[in-house]
Structure 1
Amino acid sequence: MAGRLLYLGNGRKFQSIAKLDDRFEAWGLKVDRYWAYDGQFPASLEGYDGIFLSGSPHGAYEDVPFIHREHALIEEAAAKEIPMLGICFGSQILASALCGKDQVFRRTSCEIGYKDLPLTEAAATDKLSRDLVDNVHMFVWHNDEVKAEHPDMTVLATSDDCPNQIWRYRQADIWGIQGHPEVTKSQAVIWFEENRERMEKDGADIDDLKAQAHEAAEAKTMLTRFAELVQNG
C-alpha cells in the first residue's frame, strides 16, 4: 500500500514551479493536497504517514489565520509522531511550532544564491542527510531565519551567513530545510526570471544566477529519503 502524504501548500499559488507534490506522487506516495494559504486543511490527521510543508511569502511569526492553524496542526502531528518535512517557510513554521515562536526572526539582509552548505557531524548518521558527504549544494533565498541554538534542535548543515540551514527536531522524524533542494536546473531558470524584481531587490544578479543554475541532485536525495520513510510507514 502506498504511503499517504499530507501536502500543505503555503504559497500564493497552490503548486510551486518545482511541482514537488507531483514528484512525491511519482515516487509512489498517495498525496492529499491542501492549499493551506487559502485556508484549506484536512478535517483529521488520521491515516497520514507523513506531512510536507511548503514555502510561503509569509513569516511564521505573522498573525495570519492559516499560520495559527498550521501551528496547531504541527503540534498535533508531532504528538502523533507523524514524520514531517518543511522547506523554507515550512522549516520556519516547524521551528516556531515545536521550539518556540521566538525561534524564527527577520534577518537584517537577505541570503540569496547557490551555496555549498557544510554538514555537521550529526548529518553522517541522519536518516535524510546520510547520503551526503562534507557539504550539500543548493539554492538558498530567505529573509527570515531559524535560530540554531535550541536544546531540541540538531543542526545538520550551515552556511557562511546562516548557522542553521538544515535541522532535525529531537530524535523525531521531523526536519526543516531552509534552502530549495526541490528546484531543478531548468525550473530554476524560469523561477529566477519570474521573480526577477523581488530577487534583485534582495541583492541577486539574475543573469549570474541563471548561469549558475544547478540540478542539486545530491540535495534531492533528502527528498527521496523522506518519501521512502513515508512509504515505509
Structure 2
Amino acid sequence: MKIGILQTGHPPDQLRPDYGDYDRMFADLLDGHGFAFASYDVEGMVFPKSVTDCDGWLITGSRHSSYEDHPFIPRLEAFVRAAYAADVPIVGICFGHQIIAQALGGRVAKYPQGWAVGRQTYDWQGKQVAINAWHQDQVIARPAAATVCASSAFCENAALVYDKRIFTVQAHPEFDSEFTGKLAQTRGKGVVPQALLDQLHATQDLPIDTPLVAHQIATFFKERRLQ
C-alpha cells in the first residue's frame, strides 16, 4: 500500500541532520506495517496530480495555522475534499488534523487556555494514552461528519474519525521525547510559557504510547477502522 505524505512544514533546520524531515519521521513511525511512501512538499506548492496517485494520504504538522493566508492552504483544503469524495483514506496529524476539519466545515482557532507541549494523556476509546503534543490551535467546532475517538480536559477534539474515510490526531505520535525536547529549545523559547517548557522537560523520560497510535494509523489505512 502506497501512502502519500503531504508535508505542510519542516522541522527546524538545525534539527534536520539528526532527526530528518517529517516524511522520514512518519516512515519510521509506520515502519514494519508494509507501506511504501511518496512525499510531496505541499507547503512549497508541490501537489500530487490526482487524489488517486496513492492509496492513502497523510498530512503532517506545520508551523502555520490553518486559518492563515498561505497559497498552499486553499489548494490543500480542495485536495482533502476531493479525496474524501473519492473515498481515498486520509490521516491528519496536528496541522493535518486541523486543516481537514476546516476543509470539511469545522472551525480552528487559538485555544484560550494556551499551549499543549510535551507528554499529554488522552481518554482514547476508554484507554489512557500518552503521546507528545505541540500546539496552540485546536479544532473548536468539529464537522458534522466527525466523531470524537480521543479527548482530554484540555483538548476535547483530540482525535476524530470521519465515516471510515479519515482519521486525525491533534498530538504528534511521530515526535519522540528527545525530539520534543530539542523542539522546546529551538521553537519553544520566548514563544511557549517557560512553566510549560519546564513541565515538558520534567516529564520527558516518562513512557509514551507511540506504538499503539502507530498501530491505529496503520490499521485505519489498511482496514478503515481503529483497533
Q: Could you tell me the TM-score, scaled by structure 1's length?
A: 0.79
Q: Is residue 2:57 matched to residue 1:64?
A: no
Deviates more, 1:67-76 or 1:136-145: 136-145
Match of 1:143 among 133, 136, 154: 136
- Mind listing any 5+ residue stretches in structure 2 that lack a counterpart? 12-19
- 2:149 touches 2:159 (CA, 8 Å); kept in 1? yes
**Alpha-carbon shift at residue 8 of structure 1 (Å):** 0.4
Identity of aligned residues (%): 27
Residue 7 (structure 2) pairs with residue 12 (structure 1): no
Matches within 5 A, 1:74-85: 74-85=80-91
Contact 1:185–1:215 under 8 Å retained in 2: no
RMSD of aligned Cα (Å)? 2.6
The worse-fitting range, judged by mean Cα deviation, of 221-230 and 173-182 is 221-230
* Structure 1 residues 142 and 225: alpha-carbon distance in aligned structure 2, compared to 1, 3 A threshold: same
Paired position in structure 1 for 2:158: 165
Could you say what secondary structure the match of 1:46 adopts?
coil
Equivalent in the alignment of 1:221? 215
The 3 A distance-change label for structure 1 pair 181 and 65 is: same
What amino acid is the match of 1:146?
A: V
What is the aligned counterpart of 2:109 among 105, 126, 137? 105
Compared CA separation, residues 17 and 31, structure 1 to 2 (3 A): closer
Provide the rounded CA distance (Å) in 2 between the counterparts of 1:136 and 1:23.
Answer: 16
Deviation digits for residues 147-174 of structure 1 (CA, Å, limit 9, x no counterpart): 25543220111111121100112x2320
Please say if residues 18 and 187 of structure 1, whose CA atoms lie closer than 8 Å, have aligned partners that are also in contact: no
Q: Closer, same or farther in 2 for the Cα pair 1:18/1:137, shift >3 Å? A: farther
Q: Using the alignment, how far apart are the partners of 2:214 and 2:206 within structure 1?
A: 17
Q: 2:129, 2:8 → 1: CA distance?
A: 25
Decide which of 108, 112, 120 is 1:115's aligned counterpart.
Answer: 120
Deviations 1:99-158 (A, max 9, x none): 24xx11112211223222113xxx4xxxxxxxxx52211122211110255432201111
Tell me how far apart the structure 2 counterparts of residues 40 and 30 of structure 1 sit (CA, whole Å): 19
Structure 1 gap ranges (5+): 124-132
**1:208 counterpart = 2:196:** no
Query: In the alignment, does 2:138 pair up with 1:174?
Result: no
**Residue aligned with 1:162, SS:** coil
Task: Spell out, residue by residue over 1:35-61, the C-alpha distance to the aligned partner (whole angstroms, 9 max, x if none).
Answer: 111111112222421100000011111
Cα gap change, 1:150/1:8 in structure 2, threshold over 3 Å: closer, same or farther?
Answer: closer
After superposition, the Cα gap between the structure-2 partners of 1:202 and 1:59, relative to the gap in structure 1 and judged at 3 Å, is farther
TM-score (norm 2): 0.81
What does residue 129 of structure 1 align with? none
